[in-house]
Amino acid sequence: MNAVGVIVEYNPFHNGHAFHIEEARKTANADVVIAVMSGNFLQRGEPALVSKWKRTEMALKAGVDIVFELPYVFATQQANTFASGAVSILEAAGCHSLCFGSESGSINSFYKTITFLQAHNELYQQKIKYFIEKGNSYPKATSLAYQTLSPDHDLIDLSKPNNILGYQYIKAANAMHAPLKIFTVTRKNANYHDPHFASDTIASATSIRKALFSKDGHPESVRQYVPDSTYNGLLEYKEQYGLFHDWELYWPYLKFRLIQMNPEQLKNIYEVEEGLEYRILSSVLQSESFQQFMEKLKTKRYTWTRLQRTCVHILTNTTKEEMFMKEDKASYLRLLGMTTTGREYLNKYKTDFSLPLISKASATKHSQLLLDIKASRIYAMAAPKSNQKKLLESEFKQPPIIVAK
Amino acid sequence: MNAVGVIVEYNPFHNGHAFHIEEARKTANADVVIAVMSGNFLQRGEPALVSKWKRTEMALKAGVDIVFELPYVFATQQANTFASGAVSILEAAGCHSLCFGSESGSINSFYKTITFLQAHNELYQQKIKYFIEKGNSYPKATSLAYQTLSPDHDLIDLSKPNNILGYQYIKAANAMHAPLKIFTVTRKNANYHDPHFASDTIASATSIRKALFSKDGHPESVRQYVPDSTYNGLLEYKEQYGLFHDWELYWPYLKFRLIQMNPEQLKNIYEVEEGLEYRILSSVLQSESFQQFMEKLKTKRYTWTRLQRTCVHILTNTTKEEMFMKEDKASYLRLLGMTTTGREYLNKYKTDFSLPLISKASATKHSQLLLDIKASRIYAMAAPKSNQKKLLESEFKQPPIIVAK
């Protein structure tokens, strides 16, 4: 059986994602689609709208065959670390190909860009350094440096978020000599961060979340942009646990934790660098919401998402020591769910996988997994008191989701 | 001017306290009554019903002339450390005498008990060790050891909480050669821990809190047991901040913090000893309230109050390292409030005080005081969101309360 891999967050799964999966399956001529998906905290430094279990179920019902969790240690990271964790999982699970959505849509342009930047590497690095010293964030400096190298129209636009991720996927696959054929499909219609609905059926996950958190906030308002499985999944989650997860629900905990800490303790947290601890501690007492806190914290030096990721690490008490001990690659394949077709694939090939397959968190003690479990428990603390226990315990007891298909 | 010192928590101030102050003033023939009062967290390991500022105001209106804060580093401790911090403050503030309430009521019996235990010290210590090894808590072992020494009826009953405290006050005063004349008055009518009302006008603070937290929970139900100043103060506090503080309001934070921690991190917290970290971490996930958590945690080895104090230290993130660095005595006199008579006393004698007088937290950086400020901010986190800021900021900006009298 031929497997194509996709790297996703599905926050939540929408029609654009369904299109991507179809294209991936067709282009790669694949029998199964394997998704590696961020757990409960995402690359942008946010809690996922609904838990990874619900998001797995939505994905399986809408066309994905197997979902593996991208461990916390990769999921809440900048693009290159995120990419290398995700690619290592797809490779270990025997994928023949990887298909990502991008603004560019041309895989040749990606390869040309990589060759181009390798050829100009010394100058590129100098320019990045120059723009960082000018006070820009790392992603901004990278983008500016790239501009000054005058890439022609055949190269990709590295200021676009999905182009950046795709570029990092290819670099990661090259670095680990992964035997993956890589495709890209043009993303449909909606820009990644677009907060407004832009077409009749395709909308960005950002605009969908925005609609769900607006005053009325019923899933009905996003129904046309998502498959029925997502629509029903959202309704069920809200019914079962009483919330959609949002940073503001974690704000009391973040604030409490920061009030507890002195600058030295805060400095032990991953990504708290360059005196950021003082800025964080002086901002927290004056802020009455997460939004307010972030606005006080924001500087040109750091992107909003970088700061949000730092806040996630404070929330989960993830230290530099813990993160620096981790390896570059995933150390297991955590199975969140599968279709019956996916199960067939796993039964056939799992003995060939280069990483252990984990179906139950309680059965193992990988250090990366302990961090995932902790993150899930922290994630559960946003739920109303009466529903917390269900969410807290699910992480340890939940077997993989199975969907007949 | 002649000053008598009292050591108090006033949680809340009631008619029994008013009686104690009157007696203290009379017995010691004093012009001013100086109270050293626990801050926002108390010796029994509980948040105070209302903030130290409100409790100060209630005390000043009901007969106390000066209130100093007993720093966190002494207030949330077992009796001997609590006593030595408190006595060091009264001595530094120039008190001529100390008057405490006790079940015994006879100061001679206290002195005889101290002499008796010194005479039998070796055997006493052996017996304490023996009873601890049998699995008893330290206070229980002390009480059992004392019993086996067959003290006669002239000696005090060291199983009574106020006798224990009084005994420790005298020992602390002796140890620091404090020139304090010590008196005791018999506590009126209500037993320290009595949860029920036992007389028409005198009730224990425990029974008063119990009534306030009961289903109807209006201060009206305790009106006959407290001075008008307490009754009005309670009404005002509830009106202003929307709560009476109770462990259950801090439970989400405690739980969150414990979920964040691994056993090694938890072991750094003060009073987490002898593998207690494992017991705490295994109890927390199964518990849905503080009460439930404490019931799971409780063993014969530790008293309920000892475990509650440990929880307070977890809540405030107070480490062994921080606590072991502290000295035996207070390093400042933090003035929470004064009557006009109290002010006269301070103006007259403050230059003779053996410790610096602090009227504003923002003006100083004593390490003991930083801990008090942190504890106050954590204390504020129980308030409804809209009132937190007022409470959070008050600690730093609040000048001493002044009451004309």
B154-178 pLDDT tens trace: 899 988 889 999 999 999 999 999 9
pLDDT at residue A197, rounded to an integer: 63
Distance (Å) from the C-alpha of residue A328 to the closest C-alpha of chain B? 23
Q: Given pLDDT bands bounded at 50, 70 and 90, which one contains residue B39? A: very high
**Chain B residues in contact with A260 (beta carbon < 8 A):** 257, 316-317, 374, 378
Residues B12 and B95 in one domain: yes
Mark yes or no for CB contact B317/A381 under 8 Å: no
For tokens 């010394």, the residue is A122
Of B318, B311, B313, the closest CA to residue B251 belongs to: B311
A/B interface, count of CB pairs below 8 Å: 55
- pLDDT of B332 reads 94
Radius of gyration from C-alpha coordinates of chain A? 21
Q: Residue B195 — pLDDT band, cuts 50, 70, 90?
A: low
Instruction: Supply the pLDDT for residue A111.
Output: 94
pLDDT at B393: 77
Per-residue confidence band for A289, with pLDDT thresholds at 50, 70 and 90: very high
At A213 the pLDDT is 86
Gap between the Cα atoms of B59 and B67, Å rounded: 8
Mean pLDDT of A177-205: 78
Q: Does B390 touch chain A (CB under 8 A)?
A: no
Same domain, B34 and B73: yes
pLDDT of residue A66: 98
The pLDDT of B359-388, averaged and rounded, is 88
Three-state SS at A27: helix
pLDDT at residue A256, as a whole number:
97
Bigger pLDDT: B195 vs B79: B79
CA dist., res. B378 & res. A258, Å (int): 10
If pLDDT is split at 50, 70 and 90, which confidence band does B92 have? very high
Provide the pLDDT for residue B16: 92
The answer to whether residue B190 scores a pLDDT higher than 60 is no
Q: Please check whether residues B14 and B83 belong to one and the same domain.
A: yes
The residue among A293, A325, A357 that closes a domain is A325
The pLDDT tens digits of the residues spanning B376-391 come to: 999 999 998 888 888 8
From B259, B377, B392, residue closest to A377, measured CB to CB? B259
- Nearest 5°: the CA angle A365, A371, A373 is 75
Mean pLDDT (chain B, rounded): 92
pLDDT of residue A233: 96
What confidence tier does A131 reach under pLDDT thresholds 50, 70, 90?
Answer: very high
Whether the per-residue pLDDT at B189 is higher than 70: the answer is no
**Closest residue to A378, CB basis, from B259, B377, B393:** B259
pLDDT band of A17, cuts 50, 70, 90: very high
Residue A175 pLDDT > 80: yes
Of the given ranges (A118-132, A180-194, B259-273), which has the lowest mean pLDDT? Answer: A180-194
Contact between chains at A285 and B377 (C-beta distance less than 8 A)? yes
Last residue of a domain, one of B279, B309, B325: B325
How many angstroms separate the CA of residue B265 from the nearest CA in chain A? 10
Query: Looking at the structure, do residues B221 and B272 belong to the same domain, yes or no?
Result: no
Q: How far apart are CA A278 and CA A224, in angstroms?
A: 46
Average pLDDT along chain A: 92
| Residue B261 confidence (pLDDT) above 70 | yes
Q: Would you state the pLDDT for residue A109?
A: 94
The C-alpha atoms of residue B151 and residue A274 are separated, in whole angstroms, by: 64
Which residue type, as a one-letter code, is found at position B344?
Answer: E
* DSSP three-state, residue B103: coil
Pick from A41-45, A244-248, A308-312, A358-362: least confident:
A358-362
Residue where a domain terminates, one of B267, B290, B325: B325
Instruction: Pick A317's closest partner by Cβ from B255, B260, B288.
Output: B260
Same domain, B33 and B17: yes
Q: For residues A48 and A193, state if they share a domain.
A: yes
Q: Which residue has the higher pLDDT, B385 or B313?
A: B313
Residue A190 has pLDDT above 80, yes or no: no
Q: Nearest residue of B to residue A250 by CA position?
A: B256
User: Which residues on chain A are in Cβ contact (under 8 Å) with B285?
Assistant: 377, 392-393
A116 and A90 in a single domain? The answer is no
More confident residue, A300 or A49: A49
**B255 to chain A: nearest residue by CA?**
A381
C-beta contacts of A119-126 below 8 A and 24+ residues apart: A120/A149, A123/A149, A124/A149
Is there a single domain that holds both residue A291 and residue A313? yes
The predicted-structure confidence for B239-253, as pLDDT tens digits, reads as follows 999 999 999 999 999
Could you tell me if A259 lies within 8 Å of chain B, comparing CB atoms? yes
List, for residues A139-153, the tens digit of each pLDDT value.
889 989 998 888 787
Name the percent of chain B lying above pLDDT 90: 74
Q: Which residues of B touch A265 (CB under 8 A)?
A: 317
Nearest beta carbon to residue A285 from set B253, B378, B392: B392
The model's confidence at residue A82, banded by pLDDT at 50, 70 and 90, is: very high
Contacts (Cβ under 8 Å, ≥6 apart) of B232:
none
Q: Would the CB atoms of B256 and A256 count as touching at under 8 Å?
A: yes
CB of B257 within 8 Å of any CB in chain A?
A: yes
A325 interface with B at CB cutoff 8 Å: no
A197 bridge partner residues: none
Domain with B58 in it: what CATH number?
3.40.50.620
Greater confidence (A188 vs A398) lies with A398
Q: How many domains does chain B have?
A: 3
Q: Residue range A110-126: average pLDDT? A: 93
Please state the rounded mean pLDDT for residues B29-54. 97
pLDDT (tens digit per residue) in A249-267: 999 999 999 999 999 999 9
By residue range, what is the domain housing residue B367?
Answer: 3-103+166-241+327-403
Hey, are the CB atoms on A260 and B316 less than 8 Å from each other? yes
| Predicted confidence band of residue A367 (pLDDT cuts 50, 70, 90) | confident
Q: Distance between CA atoms of A308 and A304, rounded to whole angstroms? A: 6
The verdict on B253 touching A (C-beta cutoff 8 Å) is yes
pLDDT of residue A181: 96
Q: Where are the beta strands (DSSP E) in A95-200?
A: 97-102, 181-186
Same structural domain for residues B38 and B155? no
Mean pLDDT of B134-144: 89
List CB contacts (< 8 A) between B257 and chain A.
256-257, 260
Q: Considering the entire predicted model, what is its pTM?
A: 0.93
Contact B145, B130 (CB under 8 A): yes
Mean pLDDT of the B194-207 span: 76
For residues B316 and B170, membership in a common domain is answered with: no
Q: Domain check: are B180 and B235 in the same one?
A: yes
Specify the range with the lowest mean pLDDT, choosing from A108-112, A215-219, B196-200, B222-226.
B196-200
* pLDDT classification of A195: cutoffs 50, 70, 90: low
Contact A377 B285 (CB under 8 A): yes
Q: Strand locations in A146-204, DSSP E?
A: 181-186
Tokens of B352: 């003779």
A385 touches B: beta carbon within 8 Å: yes
pLDDT value of position B386: 84
Query: Which segment of A325-329, B71-75, B338-342 scores lowest on mean pLDDT?
Result: A325-329
**Residue A388 pLDDT level (bands cut at 50, 70, 90):** confident
Tell me the CA distances in angstroms from A244 to A294, A314, A380, B55, one per residue in order: 20, 21, 11, 41
Q: Are residues A316 and A346 in the same domain?
A: no
Give B326-345 pLDDT, tens digit per residue: 678 899 999 999 999 999 99
Q: What is the pLDDT of residue A261?
A: 96
CB count in 10 Å sphere of residue A133: 9
CA distance A152 to chain B (A): 49
